[in-house]
A and B are shown apart, each in its own frame.
Chain A
């Protein structure tokens, strides 16, 4: 693919794209901060993340309003229309990422009330960094118009799934070994799920960028179903420590 995004100064949609990039920066910072709040057990930082969320919501609403105004009054067509709609959709995905980060920050507050589970929070951090890196990559692709980069994020979705699955097993093993870890373990499960969903949003954004630049949907099957299948198999039937151990060994 050789599509090159020509940098046009002062065109119709550019301010909108800039605002989306700014929202992206805010979302990235929220994710990085909520991970720090977990690993450092930083209560103040967690509160700060929660308090900053309305800013993202307001910015997203503003982008939406401006996009609709632009469509209504300037009636862009072709690539310009796609760019406008893409900005609108990416902003929605980013705002959702912000919500998930806020939720993680809230759960980190509960985690800080119980004993630290350092090996687990380390794994969470690793998953989080991976997801954060994917979001960064896809936003770089957006601001730089690099469609290959976006395609790369789209194709490497299973990496996050692998991490998530191994973390899932790790958490189950822990909770079965020591019932006192069930409360923090359950919150860590939700946190892992939230991170995985941020990864999904990054993948969505990659698809939107592809559509924006080419005007075509992304084709081809994402290597996702396998992972989902395995996870549902794991959830079927009573969980005995033998089963968990065999799952752990498999992985």
Chain B
């Protein structure tokens, strides 16, 4: 069914009173004024991205006589308006919006209301209303502009969710600590063996809390500096070797073999913050160790001087691939690559997009003996972003995962 709006009555009343369109760019109004081109005016308003409508009314008491005399394309699509002249409530029925419209129609005031539409897609709308001068036939007119504020609202909610998640993550080990303290004060007081075991568990839980708090603090520090370019020169190969030295005992304990291929000293140089690059290497290698079965191998590669395409070239056949972070490229950039490959269980395709989300853990990982904080990859991603680099993941279920971090070469 074609959307046709009765031409004659409505644009005339708008055109006669340019002062009511004060919010529009003045030259746009003048163009409309001078060439008197009605179709051009309609096309102009139709191409506005935000829904715009004009409501008319005569009787303040009869709520059913608020009529939509004009709606631009965005409004017709959003509110599924099929023809002009229909009642406003058929299109929008939220009481606060109707009140705001009435304020503009009969109070001559600017109105504002926000409303949410549930359903499959939750959306959050803000409606602004402005009084217009009455039409030639005496009907009162008001302008309605709707703006989609879903994104702003969603960010706000994510922040709140993050707080809730963080407190939840902290509460779990705390609850276990409190429980053991109670037991140690009670019937386990004189049982030396149980005491030892409980103290071991408590130390592990306290360690988990400490790790989580460390991660949260470094994440907030990294975010603070995310848009400040790092200074200083870092040799990625040297830093990675430092991390490998530190993690070697853990690898030996787990019976995991490390296969190391390093760029020559002084070749893999980048502009960066040494501590942060250390953290990236630490988190990636630590992750790889965690996912390796005893007797497995973790490969660590530092490659100097490659293009972005070479850095992102597939390293595993038949793998699910996803770029978690890509830098802006102008062309011709050279990168230093830090690649970490494990031969563990791999990660199913459906988990990949959410991997760098805070507190996201792949199912089944929660039972690991050394529980991660769920923040490791989020930290890696933010650090790499600060260094204008990229991060990609490849994984084959049952065969293992490869993380590739690439940073602009000095």
Chain A interface residues (CB < 8 Å from chain B): 4, 7, 9, 14-19, 21-22, 24-26, 28-29, 32, 129, 132-133, 136-137, 139-140, 143-144
Contact of B63 among A7, A19, A140 (CB under 8 A): A19
Q: Which of chain B's residues has its CB closest to A18's CB?
A: B64
> Chain B residues near A32 (CB, 8 Å)?
116, 118
- Least CB distance from B83 to A in Å reads 5
5 nearest A-B pairs in the assembled complex, by CB-CB distance: A25-B93, A18-B64, A15-B64, A21-B89, A143-B90
B118 touches A133 (CB 8 A): yes
What's the A-B contact tally at a CB cutoff of 8 Å? 69
B118 touches A132 (CB 8 A): yes
Chain B residues numbered 71-119 whose CB sits less than 8 Å from any CB in chain A:
80, 82-83, 85-87, 89-96, 98, 116-119
Complex-state Cα separation, A169 to B41, whole angstroms = 59
Contact of A25 among B82, B95, B116, B120 (CB under 8 A): B95
Contact of A15 among B65, B95, B119, B120 (CB under 8 A): B65
**Max count, chain A CB within 10 A of own CB: residue among B87, B96, B117:** B87
> Chain A residues near B63 (CB, 8 Å)?
18-19, 22
A28 touches B93 (CB 8 A): yes
A-B contact pairs, 25 of them (CB 8 A): A7-B85, A9-B85, A9-B86, A14-B87, A15-B65, A17-B90, A18-B87, A21-B87, A22-B63, A22-B64, A22-B89, A22-B95, A25-B92, A25-B98, A29-B94, A29-B96, A129-B118, A136-B117, A136-B118, A137-B119, A143-B89, A143-B90, A143-B91, A143-B93, A144-B82
Complex-state Cα separation, A143 to B88, whole angstroms = 10
Contact of B86 among A7, A24, A139 (CB under 8 A): A7
Given A18-B63, A25-B95, A144-B90, 10 extra CB contacts under 8 A: A15-B87, A16-B64, A17-B90, A21-B87, A22-B63, A32-B116, A133-B118, A133-B119, A133-B120, A136-B117
Complex-state Cα separation, A28 to B65, whole angstroms = 21
- If A32-B118, A144-B80 touch, whether A21 touches B93 (CB-CB below 8 Å) is yes
Contact of A22 among B67, B98, B116 (CB under 8 A): B98
Contact count band on B:
20 to 34
B118 touches A7 (CB 8 A): no
Q: Which of chain A's residues has its CB closest to B122's CB?
A: A129
**Max count, chain A CB within 10 A of own CB: residue among B62, B95, B116, B120:** B95
Q: Which of chain A's residues has its CB closest to B90's CB?
A: A143
> Chain B residues near A136 (CB, 8 Å)?
117-119
A29 touches B119 (CB 8 A): no
> Chain A residues near B95 (CB, 8 Å)?
22, 25-26, 29
Q: Which of chain A's residues has its CB closest to B1's CB?
A: A4
Complex-state Cα separation, A19 to B89, whole angstroms = 8
> Chain A residues near B85 (CB, 8 Å)?
7, 9
> Chain B residues near A21 (CB, 8 Å)?
87, 89-90, 93
Complex-state Cα separation, A3 to B4, whole angstroms = 20
B93 touches A24 (CB 8 A): yes
Contact of A7 among B82, B93, B116 (CB under 8 A): B82
> Chain A residues near B89 (CB, 8 Å)?
18-19, 21-22, 25, 143
B118 touches A18 (CB 8 A): no
> Chain A residues near B119 (CB, 8 Å)?
133, 136-137
B118 touches A14 (CB 8 A): no
Q: Which of chain B's residues has its CB closest to A32's CB?
A: B116
Complex-state Cα separation, A28 to B117, whole angstroms = 10
Q: Which of chain A's residues has its CB closest to B117's CB?
A: A136
Complex-state Cα separation, A22 to B93, whole angstroms = 5
- If A9-B86, A136-B119, A137-B119 touch, whether A14 touches B64 (CB-CB below 8 Å) is yes
Q: Which of chain B's residues has its CB closest to A25's CB?
A: B93
A25 touches B80 (CB 8 A): no
- Least CB distance from A124 to B in Å reads 15
Contact with A along B46-67 (1 / 0, CB 8 A): 0000000000000000111101
Complex-state Cα separation, A144 to B117, whole angstroms = 16
> Chain B residues near A16 (CB, 8 Å)?
64
Complex-state Cα separation, A14 to B88, whole angstroms = 12
B64 touches A25 (CB 8 A): no
B82 touches A139 (CB 8 A): no
Complex-state Cα separation, A143 to B90, whole angstroms = 5
Complex-state Cα separation, A139 to B117, whole angstroms = 12
> Chain A residues near B120 (CB, 8 Å)?
133
Q: Which of chain A's residues has its CB closest to B6's CB?
A: A9
> Chain A residues near B65 (CB, 8 Å)?
15
> Chain B residues near A29 (CB, 8 Å)?
94-96
Q: Which of chain B's residues has its CB closest to A20's CB?
A: B89
> Chain A residues near B80 (CB, 8 Å)?
140, 144
Q: Which of chain B's residues has its CB closest to A16's CB?
A: B64
Complex-state Cα separation, A7 to B86, whole angstroms = 7
Q: Which of chain A's residues has its CB closest to B91's CB?
A: A143
- Least CB distance from A217 to B in Å reads 26
